[in-house]
Chains A and B, each alone.
Chain A
């Protein structure tokens, strides 16, 4: 089974801190995604990556950056955390960009910025 592992389930950070959210997948998937999930808004795509060192902005990239130095790892970076970035963050991977093979999600990281 494909496994997507997010390094933390819960994080509490202070406003202005630099925050790293890590995601690792173990099935050699080309494509990885970062979403945030907020009540009533569903999942919104922040960034995705279709290959090592390749990244594309999603719908809400402002305030975020990403890093994909190795195929298995896709990191989401909050350069200067703000309270409006308090959310559930979900990482996903897929074999194909169009998701024909399905998506596999991590368990999520609930980030609170105080």
Chain B
């Protein structure tokens, strides 16, 4: 079993829909990262969480340490949000990566 599981693996939605991507992990962590990878490869850090909730524009990330679960939400989704969203957890001085969720937002 992978130490970091993301769901769904693939998600296609219509523009304007509320999007939720989930991340569950099985190890003790010091922080959890959400990152975005656009076609072409470059990765951008979206959030780093160790507790609670963070918001940036239309993106919201939450974490429940007790349940070892985090969610990334996108409100009023737009085609430019189409990307791979990656969850990574931090422990023992290294990151453990989820396999990513490929999101496609159709106009």
Contacts and interface: CB of A to CB of B under 8 A. Distances in A.
Interface residues of A, number: 24
16 contacts: A9-B41, A41-B99, A42-B86, A42-B98, A42-B100, A43-B95, A45-B95, A97-B93, A98-B31, A98-B90, A99-B48, A102-B45, A103-B35, A103-B45, A105-B43, A108-B43
Contacts of A48: 94
The B interface, classified by DSSP as helix, strand, loop or mixed, is strand
Q: Shortest 6 CB-CB distances between A and B: which pairs?
A: A108-B41, A105-B43, A42-B97, A107-B42, A43-B97, A42-B99
B51 interface: no
Contacts of B4: 42
Interface of B: 4, 30-31, 33, 35, 40-45, 48, 86, 88, 90, 93-95, 97-100
